[in-house]
Structure 1
Amino acid sequence: MKNQSQGKWTSGLLLLFMIVPVIIAVFPLAALTMASFKPSTELMRYGLNVYPQFELWNLDNYVYLFTDGSIYFHWFKNSVLITFISTILALIFSSMVGYSLAMYRFKGQSIVLFLVLLIMMIPFEILMLPLFRMMIGLGFVNTYTGVILPMIIHPLAIFFFRQYALSLPNDLMDAARIDGCTEYGIFFRIMVPLMKPAYGAMGILLALFSWNNFLWPLVVLRTKEMLTLPIGLAGLLSPYGNNYDVLIAGSVLTVLPIIIVFIFAQKYFISSLAAGAVKG
């Protein structure tokens, strides 16, 4: 009986420790969602809170986002397009580089790995000026290409895929070579399916990074129609007026794509963490 009571107390404490972080994480999102349905006068008077006040709810903030000359839809489209293309390309190229660093032995391999780690430690603000001058020289200012191009090779993703590929069996590569499979065939037909958990986990992180990226698009993009959501929403706050009600409604819609990405990729994200725990 004593062991059973101790087990119940332990389970209760563990449940409490799990519930508290969930509440802390969900509270801002719940407050933000409720505030998006309230008029600006109530928002300025009481601020963000989790009191429903259903009698004050309306859809005026969301209607304004897509009407009255608002270009929120263009910002949303730009963010989706940039995030999708940059994430897919970064996963493809970074996984190929990480896989080659893990599975092949070539002259200068350690130097390449050192450079990857070195770039990871350099703040992006230091690289921003030479990258911007490069975009000017290539004529990619105020274009999707100018935003996407510097992001398709991500040093963190390269290192992540390298570490994951080190756990893959070399015997499969040898067997495939005996069967006449090319090196590209080994990668795309054998290794890529084995690295699905790594693709899922890194896909979430890269999509989140690209979706929330503010500084680099702010430097490259010029016209209002080309802006991404973080920049466009930040422009709603100015010395001449603060549209907090519209800003909050736009922020709620901005969170939805990342939640959708995580829902579809969470299985691979969790399995990659479990694989790392077992193999590490």
Structure 2
Amino acid sequence: MQTKQRKRWKISTVILLILFIVISIFALFPLVAITLASFKPSKEILRFGLNLSLQPEVLSFDNYAFIFSGASEYFIWYKNSILITIISTILCLLLSCMVGYGLAVYDFKFKNLIFGMVLVVMMVPVEIIMLPLYKLTMNLGLMDTLIGAFLPFIVAPIPIFFFRQYAAGLPRDLLDAARVDGSTELGIFFKVMMPLMAPAFSSMAILQALASWNNFLWPLIVLKSSDKLTLPIGLSTLLTPYGNNYDVLIAGSVLAIIPILIVFIFFQRYFIEGMTAGGVKG
């Protein structure tokens, strides 16, 4: 019986391995195709589209040379996106974690009502609240500023819900022990609970950084000056009725993948653990 079970286990493992390899190939195809296209001139891309064909006679570094030459404002957009992503991700993780932690650990009046409101906001599309957010940003004098591009989203319902679920599963004995030792509530949060929530922070850091980096609609509404644009908006300006610079656009898109790839590699160790624990605890 054990021999048959081992054979079945080996066969199922091989089948799963082959399945994952096939899925990985399909997942990597767009990335490889767009990387190859970044070395081709625009006319080749328009003629043949994205493909895996290697044509040494048409491949060159001209697209990247144009970007690095400073002829466009690409790296200004790049810097703006990095600043917005870093600041908004850090603030969103910190503030959302504090709200979620408070909803999970403390008992106070209207606690369930507040949590219910968080759940309701999760189900409201962002486009519905664009107009009031626009009016609020205008009244605060934050139009065409980098702060206005991320300020309305530094406390988000999904991270609040996630941190609340994760914090609900943390041992309460640590809270009591820290209080006996004379630690303040802020001290307990920063010194005791936050280290225990490292997997949750890693998971949310990847998701929030990705959302902030790729955010297009709200910065498009708020930002007007060319030197204030983020990378997605700046790249979209390369496509105009007077000329479609697909070659430069694709090369810029390839470089835009690098920061998110670095974030994922840095935090992926805790990503699965944090997503699993946050989904089942509480």
Q: TM-score, normalised by structure 2?
A: 0.95
Q: Which residue of 2 aligns with 1:251?
A: 253
Q: Which residue of 1 aligns with 2:173?
A: 171
What letter corresponds to residue 40 of structure 1 in structure 2? S
Specify the SS of the correspondent of 2:248. helix
Specify the SS of the correspondent of 1:27. helix
* Correspondences of 1:1-280 after superposition (within 5 Å): 6-67=8-69, 69-276=71-278, 279=281
Aligned mates of 2:124, 2:16 — CA distance in 1: 39
Q: Answer whether contact 2:99 2:160 (CA < 8 A) is retained.
A: yes
What letter corresponds to residue 225 of structure 2 in structure 1? T
Q: Deviations over 1:129-148 (max 9, x none)?
A: 10110111110000011012
Deviation at 1:69, TM superposition (A): 2.6
Deviation at 1:3, TM superposition (A): 5.5
Q: Deviations over 1:156-183 (max 9, x none)?
A: 0000000000000111001110110000
Greater CA deviation, 38-47 or 129-138? 38-47
Deviation at 1:274, TM superposition (A): 4.8
Q: Answer whether contact 2:214 2:232 (CA < 8 A) is retained.
A: yes
Deviation at 1:275, TM superposition (A): 3.5
Q: TM-score, normalised by structure 1?
A: 0.95
What letter corresponds to residue 141 of structure 2 in structure 1? G
Aligned mates of 2:194, 2:133 — CA distance in 1: 31
Deviation at 1:278, TM superposition (A): 7.3
Are residues 112 and 5 of structure 1, via their aligned partners in 2, closer, same or farther at CA, if it must alter by over 3 Å? closer
What letter corresponds to residue 260 of structure 1 in structure 2? I
Q: Answer whether contact 2:165 2:279 (CA < 8 A) is retained.
A: no
Query: Which structure 2 residue ranges, 5 or more long, are not aligned?
Result: none
Deviation at 1:63, TM superposition (A): 1.2
Q: Deviations over 1:224-261 (max 9, x none)?
A: 11111111111111222111101100100111110000
Deviation at 1:68, TM superposition (A): 5.4
Are residues 157 and 277 of structure 1, via their aligned partners in 2, closer, same or farther at CA, if it must alter by over 3 Å? closer
Q: Answer whether contact 2:148 2:222 (CA < 8 A) is retained.
A: yes
Aligned mates of 1:180, 1:174 — CA distance in 2: 10
Structure 1 vs Structure 2 CA RMSD: 1.6
Aligned mates of 1:190, 1:3 — CA distance in 2: 45
Specify the SS of the correspondent of 1:56. coil
Q: Answer whether contact 2:104 2:164 (CA < 8 A) is retained.
A: yes
Aligned mates of 1:8, 1:174 — CA distance in 2: 48
Aligned mates of 2:209, 2:146 — CA distance in 1: 16
Aligned mates of 1:177, 1:5 — CA distance in 2: 55
Aligned residues: 280
What letter corresponds to residue 70 of structure 1 in structure 2? S
Specify the SS of the correspondent of 2:232. helix
What letter corresponds to residue 263 of structure 1 in structure 2? I
Specify the SS of the correspondent of 2:71. coil
Aligned mates of 2:279, 2:118 — CA distance in 1: 24
